[in-house]
Amino acid sequence: MKNRTRSSSPKSRVAQSAALPGAERLSARERLLAAAQELFYEEGINTVGIDRVIERAGVAKASLYDCFGSKEELIRSYLAARQETREARMRAELAKFKSPRERLLGVFDVMAKLLAESNYRGCAFVRASAEIRTGSSVKTVCDEARAWLHSLFTGLAKEVGVAQPTRLAKQLVLLYDGASVSAQMDQNRGAAAAARAMAEVILEAAMAATVMTQGK
């Protein structure tokens, strides 16, 4: 006579590493991560308690601590998963562009799609950094995300053949961060387009400087 909110057809279980194409029930771990994505990102990692996460996931509290061991580890897993999907999406979308120049500017086109989503709340790693207390192990995941962002732009800057690729990369990261903050704080939906336009100008200046230093 218990009123269960869970799906009423738990015919089979999905092993952690298995990935069956059928619409089978997700494992507790996967449901927890999905719930964490929504709640932690949209409301903050400190304001959302464990109880709300397990309620959203439809999972017992004991299962959470079996899977992750602590809230902090759940947060780290949430951020790590977010970074993985970010990398995969960027890789897939950038592959569509042909020229190095289009690929570099394409990062801001991808960003424009993200900002257009109604639940955009700014960069998850910047937000998390603002919430953690000093010495938290969560910072490591944030640092890795930042390193990836820099390496992404550095690689693209080298492809376009600019004289100082790390310098250009730092500038593009700055534009990327600025767009995310403007979108978050000012509901400025055109922030990515503005950043793209600026990136074009900056890139042109960097290319011009490259020709100068080459002497021809």
Partner DNA sequence: TTATTTAAACAGACAGGTCAGTATGGCATT
Partner DNA sequence: AATGCCATACTGACCTGTCTGTTTAAATAA
- CA 147, 150, 155, 156 torsion: positive or negative? positive
Query: Under a CB-based contact definition with an 8 Å cutoff, are residues 111 and 170 in contact?
Result: no
Residue 68 parent element (H or E): none
In whole angstroms, how close is the CB of 184 to DNA at the nearest point?
A: 23
Q: Which of 215, 213, 203, 216 is nearest to 101 (CA)?
A: 203
Q: Which two tokens stand for residue 181?
A: 């903050």
194 lies in the site for its own copies, by CB under 8 A: yes
> The tokens 């490591």 sit on which residue?
140
Q: Which of 213, 207, 109, 205 is nearest to 159 (CA)?
A: 207
In whole angstroms, how close is the CB of 28 to DNA at the nearest point?
A: 4
75 lies in the site for its own copies, by CB under 8 A: no
Residue 188 binds: one of DNA, its own copies, none (C-beta under 5 to 8 A by kind): its own copies
Residue 16 or 151 with smaller CB distance to DNA: 16
Residue 4 binds: one of its own copies, DNA, none (C-beta under 5 to 8 A by kind): DNA
Residue 104 or 123 with smaller CB distance to its own copies: 123
DSSP letter at 29 equals H
Tell me which residues touch its own copies (CB under 8 A).
Answer: 43-44, 46-47, 122-123, 125-127, 129-131, 133-134, 142, 146, 150, 170-171, 173-182, 184-186, 188, 191, 194-195, 197-198, 201-202, 205
